[in-house]
Amino acid sequence: MNSIKTIVLIVLAAGMLQTAFGQVSPEIQLGARGVMSFNTDITGNQKTTSVNDFSDTGLLLGFRQKMYNRFRGQLVIGLQFPDADSDLGQVFFHQTFLLLEDQKNILKMGRSRVRSALIEFPTLRDDDALAFTDVLNPFSSGENTEDNQYGNVIELAHVFAQRYWLTAHGEHFTRTPVPPATSETDFSLNAVGFSFVYMVPETQIWNRPFIQQLGIGFNNFLTDRQGYSNQFDQTLKNILVSGVFNLKPDPIYFVDARFQVVYNLGFKEVKTIGNFYDLTRARAAAHFFSLRFLYRKLERPTLQLALSGGFKVFPDLTQKARQWQVVFNAFYRLGENFDLAFQVQQAQFTGDLKTLYGKSETRFQVGLVYSIDQRWNKQFDDRNSLLNLEHGYIP
């Protein structure tokens, strides 16, 4: 009899403990974006090519969990279809990381977007103006645009007053293997830096001040520069300055302007550009700007028009070299999360850049974009929406 009572008491106690310390179910996130376009390219020699492009289409899964204290944890796994001419295969994992955060502190470790840019511009794909909008990877051969955008990262951010973001990062940018090697073997950190950004929260979308965002960043690549043993002299240094301004913060007829300057201090011995390695190590200044108009109907984005352009100069080269680009696009919402897109780009090159890219290139794109961001067992706010990890053509 006493044994039965003991078992009953144990079962009751276990039930009470399970009720008190029951498993906390995670929030499950699903994010996906399909970008399909028909591209027509016209190069300087009047050669025309047309392709059906579905690059940058991706799928993301996220799981967020409450911790036993004020923090919360998150696991994200994402795959993406890379550019057709890359050697990354049919798909590659561009996001695989763990994140731990509270209201003011964020720790991120894994594979994700590197800090090669401070802001986004309203382009169809994130690499449409890559030479101007991102710090270029000096360890890559330049064959894969994703080498400049994704890598192994460790980031620590602190948020002051919900608007000031101080972020320190260490990163491993992908290295193109040197023959006869066929795959990367060294995954040590090869880039460090920090950024300080003032950013108005998205929750104030209907009450935007004139200054939406201002930021400065420092990206330093730990290269193996020949002839220099001092680590500081071997470091390739880049400075980024950016801003977003709400010229007309009207909730229906909205207009904003964006700019970013990337200054690469470079190495003084680089006087000619014969390949991508020289391009990333030459002293250069890239400037890019955009003016965007967004029409909202019934508080939903309906039509977006954007004109963007930039130029890049290389002051130390023996032969004067410059690069220009202009991008115009329009997006029209056909239905919930479904958009019709049109974009035209014009790029021109002078000096040594003509050896790498030709004299000019014009690209016409007509496409469709579909985006979803779904959550189950919702527990948290939208600061870490999965689609925030992807390029947003409507910033």
State the burial class of residue 5 (Cβ atoms within 10 Å of its Cβ: 0-12, 13-18, 19+): exposed
* 201 contact partners, CB below 8 Å, separation of at least 6: 162, 163
> CA 306 from chain center: how many Å?
19
Average pLDDT of the residues of the chain: 90
Confidence (pLDDT) at 12: 53
Is the pLDDT assigned to residue 327 strictly greater than 90? yes
Q: Say yes or no to pLDDT of 11 above 90.
A: no
Predicted confidence at residue 152, as pLDDT, reads 97
The answer to which of 21-25, 157-161, 256-260, 271-275 has the lowest mean pLDDT is 21-25
Please report the pLDDT score of residue 348 as a whole number. Answer: 96
pLDDT of residue 13: 55
Tell me the per-residue pLDDT of 235-270, one tens digit each, with 9 for 90 and over. 999 999 999 999 999 989 999 999 999 999 999 999
Please check the confidence at residue 8 and state whether its pLDDT lies above 50.
Answer: no
Mean pLDDT of 186-190: 90
Burial class (CB in 10 A: 0-12, 13-18, 19+), 92: middle
Q: What is the per-residue pLDDT across 117-151, written as a single tens digit (0 to 9) for each?
A: 999 999 999 999 999 999 999 999 998 999 999 99
Residues 68-111 have pLDDT tens digits of: 889 999 999 999 999 877 878 888 999 999 999 999 999 999 99
Residue 1 predicted with pLDDT over 60: no
Beta-sheet strands, E only, within 44-102? 48-53, 58-66, 72-80, 92-101
Number of Cβ within 10 Å of residue 328's Cβ equals 14
Residue 342 buriedness (CB in 10 A; 0-12 / 13-18 / 19+): middle
Query: Rounded CA gap, 65 and 28, in Å?
Result: 9
Q: Give mean pLDDT, residues 196-210.
A: 86
DSSP 280: H
Indicate the pTM of the whole model: 0.89
Q: Which residues of 9-28 are buried (b: 16+ CB within 10 A; e: fewer)?
A: eeeeeeeeeeeeeeeeebbe
- Phi/psi of residue 90, nearest 5 degrees: -70, -40
Say how many Å lie between the first and final Cα of the chain, rounded: 70
**Confidence check: pLDDT of 5 > 80:** no
Per the listing, tokens 């070299």 go with: 321
